[in-house]
Structure 1
């Protein structure tokens, strides 16, 4: 948020030119952050689209784990297409929010819900892997059951993400003579409710999923150390263990990347709700810190496609083919420009 105030009158008072130092500091870094956001959106959209295409095209990949991986990719793709560009534009636009009142309420809802979808999908992947390794004889969940579970994830995520959207206000300051439109959360006379919701978000979207995933993967680790296949040749056992360990390592890597990317933003948001007088984080630097933490959190959408694609050779081939096409098309365009210039 640009300013932590709760009423429209306070916004007008806070809009004095001398209090815009934090916004001016952030705008001075626009040439650095805008290319980074563009790169993030491009990589995440291409990566998640290719991952979804590979899972949908290959029937051999139609199982519970890949279904939840696809659900995770769909959530990341939606976030990068709808939320990241608008949020970045709002952060670096001197006139504030330019996308109207409806999107002002829709973007926080989508962004928070896609975060919940990501953590629920990561948790579902961990639980599914635990069942496969620890209880290999047990029947796995069907694709229809996976679909019902995915719908439940999205509905639950939308429900949990509703409070910020309901408390988001679209404030147009242009009638007061200031060229600024604000789209921020207001919790008037409910600071304790805002703090409770922040703690709830930290608990449900970060700590509890991370704890449950850690417990599941610790159980998988213990089981892998004890497992042996009766009657299997030693080389088959070695290959089986190597494949399982690779899959397990990559899944753990995806959870660690999520934890690393989202921790700074979660901590900063909690600090800002606890420290409303800006004693720990100065007003001048709060905007810059928020954008840095937001960029790092959104970058988690870039890593998952490549981590999960490395599990499947066909996905790797698709990525290489796309890279080859992009490089050749760039070279072709460069040659055309060269020939045109030489003819002048």
Structure 2
């Protein structure tokens, strides 16, 4: 007999005996408190889905519609936007529904395993895409006359990013269990991670996830930024006049500021949730965190983490006039080339298209 349903039922019975309640909503401590905030959280989750969906769709449309934007940096930016779009359209609505549904998981067993896998994979895909952008930025600045990576090689890198992301996100999905407790008299369907007998592995994976989510992108951006700064101070573009070199340097620094902003937004949004999950792994007896507030804290941190899918389109738009103009004026219907090419801010003879700089 599988010991897991019995383990969950024992937890239910202990809660029922302690609280003398029989309704499903009362069988988890903190659920009533969470439901009081449902009128606040549901609109916020809906706002995240709409903003992230529209913003990332716009960013992908910009890159796909204009062939001048088909280069390595924009390819990785598009990969980042695709991951954010996948997360906001699949993970956010289902996980939010599960949090506020009185009867638990309502989407069946296959999605119970798929959604945690997708959510973890999109996080790692964002991390690896930001790392790829940082490496590409350094190559562009350090070797300006070197031929850029080709489209098919970018595709191979993107496939590698998603394959690695799925592999790294697999452990929680493998330990996620779908438990229908209705035959036992409990009108609840549970879809949760259970690491029975493997609590140490769960803790190690939590530490790994926390470090990988921050150390990889932050280190890559820091190293790349330092290398670019040193290179720009020591080298000049051959044959380029002083004013052109200054503009060249300014544009590349502007480009790199976008990468720094993207990494900081990602890191700050995901940090509270990762710290909370680590604390819950370390504090299984709820001595640090009051169990009554855990559900509200989890949903709050999860909402902040999901909001990371919204920011990149606005980061690029805020620092580039043409992208911003296209986003708010819908001018693509009248003149797509002018709106979709941020580098059109520069004279034609000097511009090559990238989001958000004219780098080659």
Deviation, 1:210, is: 2.0
Q: Quick one: distance in 2 between partners of 1:226 and 1:96?
A: 60
CA contact (8 A) 1:229 1:237 kept: yes
- Stretch deviating more after TM superposition (8-17 or 69-78): 8-17
2:48 matched to which residue of 1?
40
Deviation, 1:311, is: 5.9
1:7 matched to which residue of 2?
4
- Stretch deviating more after TM superposition (290-299 or 211-220): 211-220
CA contact (8 A) 1:109 1:158 kept: yes
2:28 is paired with a residue whose SS is: helix
Q: Quick one: distance in 1 between partners of 2:265 and 2:52?
A: 14
2:97 matched to which residue of 1?
89
1:150 matched to which residue of 2?
158
CA contact (8 A) 1:123 1:209 kept: yes
CA contact (8 A) 1:194 1:273 kept: yes
Q: Quick one: distance in 2 between partners of 1:128 and 1:324?
A: 29
Q: Quick one: distance in 1 between partners of 2:95 and 2:291?
A: 20
- Stretch deviating more after TM superposition (166-175 or 28-37): 166-175
1:192 matched to which residue of 2?
200
2:237 matched to which residue of 1?
229
Task: Give 1:41-56 correspondences, 5 Å limit.
Answer: 41-56=49-64
2:316 matched to which residue of 1?
308
1:225 is paired with a residue whose SS is: helix
Deviation, 1:103, is: 0.6
2:115 matched to which residue of 1?
107
Kindly provide the CA deviation profile for residues 115-150 of structure 1, in whole angstroms up to 9, marking residues without a partner as x.
111100000000000111122233321111000110
Q: Quick one: distance in 1 between partners of 2:324 and 2:84?
A: 19
Name which of 243, 257, 271 aligns with 2:251. 243
2:216 matched to which residue of 1?
208
Kindly provide the CA deviation profile for residues 4-34 of structure 1, in whole angstroms up to 9, marking residues without a partner as x.
xx83223223223435331111111101111
1:171 is paired with a residue whose SS is: strand
CA contact (8 A) 1:51 1:309 kept: no
1:280 matched to which residue of 2?
288
Taking structure 2 as the reference length, the TM-score comes to 0.84
CA contact (8 A) 1:254 1:307 kept: yes
Deviation, 1:282, is: 1.5
2:103 is paired with a residue whose SS is: coil
- The reply on whether 1:75 has 2:76 as its aligned counterpart is no
Q: Quick one: distance in 2 between partners of 1:54 and 1:312?
A: 13
Cα RMSD over matched residues?
2.0
CA contact (8 A) 1:120 1:153 kept: yes
1:134 matched to which residue of 2?
142
Kindly provide the CA deviation profile for residues 245-288 of structure 1, in whole angstroms up to 9, marking residues without a partner as x.
21111211111111111111111111111111111112111111
Deviation, 1:237, is: 2.5
Kindly provide the CA deviation profile for residues 46-88 of structure 1, in whole angstroms up to 9, marking residues without a partner as x.
0000100000011111110000000000000001111000000
CA contact (8 A) 1:54 1:314 kept: no
Q: Quick one: distance in 2 between partners of 1:285 and 1:220?
A: 46
- Stretch deviating more after TM superposition (99-108 or 266-275): 266-275
Q: Quick one: distance in 2 between partners of 1:104 and 1:322?
A: 39
Q: Which residues of structure 2 form unaligned runs of 5+?
A: 20-26, 334-360
Kindly provide the CA deviation profile for residues 180-215 of structure 1, in whole angstroms up to 9, marking residues without a partner as x.
111001111111111111122122232233222221
Taking structure 1 as the reference length, the TM-score comes to 0.88
Name which of 61, 76, 81 aligns with 2:69. 61
- Stretch deviating more after TM superposition (202-211 or 160-169): 202-211
1:172 matched to which residue of 2?
180
Q: Quick one: distance in 2 between partners of 1:234 and 1:144?
A: 36
Q: Quick one: distance in 1 between partners of 2:304 and 2:285?
A: 25
Deviation, 1:313, is: 5.0
Q: Quick one: distance in 2 between partners of 1:248 and 1:297?
A: 23
